[in-house]
């Protein structure tokens, strides 16, 4: 369907698998600019006075920031992994670490599932740090990635319980007390945003980038046992 945007990404994948690269590029180029996406347009409404409800305008602006931040993280990761120079240099590592700081600052201490974004950044840092031989930094980043994975799993369990409670009518969505802790996103409803699922297999694969000595330390550490038992 011409106006069904949900099929775009799988359609591009199919075109690429069939070797129809020009068709994929053409279809991608026909999509709206980033500045014309729903979140950005709604966020701009408050700025130009089209919304007289400041609480709602603040929510729209926060939604736009969060979605753009998420998209930026994904785009930067793709750009670095496909750039041999950045993928094997401290410059690439520093870019990711700066992005992580920005993400951490904007999202705040209560990530509501966006722990997975932080986990993916950490895992990419592990690989680059190992590429440049800085295995100490790689170990620190792996530990951080594991921590974010655990927090993501705890968030999933919490969401499952909330879903059961909602089905049992024991909570009301209108009285949802979930919120981000940062000032920038305090009006954003976390349930309105999709998150990337973080699987233990991703961490296991990341561990293979270490030299044998460090890899053994990780696989034999009881702390990380849960990801290797999956």
48 assigned to some structural domain: no
Q: How many domains does the chain have?
A: 2
Average pLDDT on 164-189 reads: 72
10 assigned to some structural domain: yes
40 assigned to some structural domain: no
**CA separation for the pair 82, 84 (Å, rounded):** 6
**CA separation for the pair 125, 132 (Å, rounded):** 11
54 assigned to some structural domain: no
Is residue 127 domain-shared with residue 195, that is, in the same domain? yes
- Is the entire prediction scored with pTM above 0.75? yes
- pLDDT (tens digit per residue) in 102-131: 999 999 888 888 999 999 999 999 999 999
Placement of tokens 């931040």 in the chain:
69
212 assigned to some structural domain: yes
Helices (H) and strands (E) counted in the chain, each on its own, are: 11, 0
- pLDDT (tens digit per residue) in 1-22: 566 677 888 888 899 899 999 9
Expressed as residue numbers, the domain containing 203 is 73-228
170 assigned to some structural domain: yes
């Amino acid at each position: 369907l011409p106006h069904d945007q949900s099929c775009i990404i799988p359609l591009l994948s199919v075109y690429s698998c069939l070797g129809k690269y020009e068709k994929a590029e053409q279809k991608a180029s026909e999509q709206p600019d980033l500045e014309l996406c729903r979140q950005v347009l709604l966020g701009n409404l408050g700025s130009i006075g089209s919304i007289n409800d400041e609480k709602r305008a603040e929510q729209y602006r926060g939604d736009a920031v969060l979605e753009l931040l998420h998209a930026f993280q994904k785009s930067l990761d793709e750009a670095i992994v496909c750039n041999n120079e950045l993928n094997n240099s401290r410059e690439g590592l520093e870019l990711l670490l700066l992005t992580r700081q920005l993400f951490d600052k904007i999202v705040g201490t209560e990530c509501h599932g966006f722990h997975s974004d932080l986990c993916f950044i950490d895992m990419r840092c592990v690989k680059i740090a190992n590429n440049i031989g800085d295995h100490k930094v790689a170990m620190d980043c792996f530990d951080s990635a594991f921590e974010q994975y655990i927090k993501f799993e705890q968030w999933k369990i919490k969401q499952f319980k909330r879903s059961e409670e909602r089905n049992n009518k024991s909570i009301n969505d209108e009285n949802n007390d979930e919120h981000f802790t940062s000032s920038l996103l305090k009006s954003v409803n976390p349930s309105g945003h999709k998150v990337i699922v973080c699987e233990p297999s991703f961490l296991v694969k990341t561990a293979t980038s270490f030299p044998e000595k460090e890899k053994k330390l990780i696989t034999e550490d009881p702390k990380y046992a849960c990801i290797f038992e999956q």
